[in-house]
Amino acid sequence: MGNIQEIFTEEAIRPSRLVQQMEKLCEEDRQWLLTHQNQFVPVNCPACGKNKFHEVFIKLNVRFVECYHCKTVYANPRPSPGLLKQHYLNSKSYKFWCEHIYPQSEPVRREKIFKKRVDFIIEQCKRFKVNPDTILEIGSGFGTFCLETQTRNFFKH
């Protein structure tokens, strides 16, 4: 697949003129969340489910803990599911990403990332004689990977 610099530049997928605006909006979103810290909830370890941890650091006014059992580091307490839903419905940075950054960088992402990724997966399936009917992508974002797999007619679903 070549080295990472041959594949793409960060500027191509995250134009700096837009990222500066995005960072400002992220800070506004973060401040909004922090004004709602009274709605943060304590959580067990997201990896193992245990509830034994110790504080390891505070970053941007958010406490991070380490699980004694599996050593996972995670934010605790964290926004409740309802607060997260409200955040994503009203997030200025998420909206900006969806309306500006991703649409402007999607052609480069498709060409330099997703086409190569799909090619690699198909090559590996053929190499190891795997004949899959279905491919599943977790966290598909804008769906570019899924759309690219459809163009190959290799997977039925």
pLDDT for 139 equals 80
pLDDT for 13 equals 81
pLDDT for 109 equals 87
pLDDT along the chain (157 residues), means of 10: 59 86 96 96 98 97 98 98 96 94 88 93 95 86 91 91
Residue extents of the structural domains in the chain: 13-42+77-152
In the three-class reduction of DSSP (H, G, I as helix; E, B as strand; rest coil), residue 75 is classed as strand
pLDDT for 115 equals 94
Q: What's the Cα-to-Cα distance from 84 to each of 23, 36, 94, 142, rounded to whole Å? A: 19, 11, 12, 20
The contacts found for 46-54 with CB under 8 angstroms, 24 or more apart, are 46/72, 46/74, 47/72, 47/74, 48/72
Strands 40-41, 53-59: pairing is unpaired
Question: Which pTM value belongs to this model?
Answer: 0.68
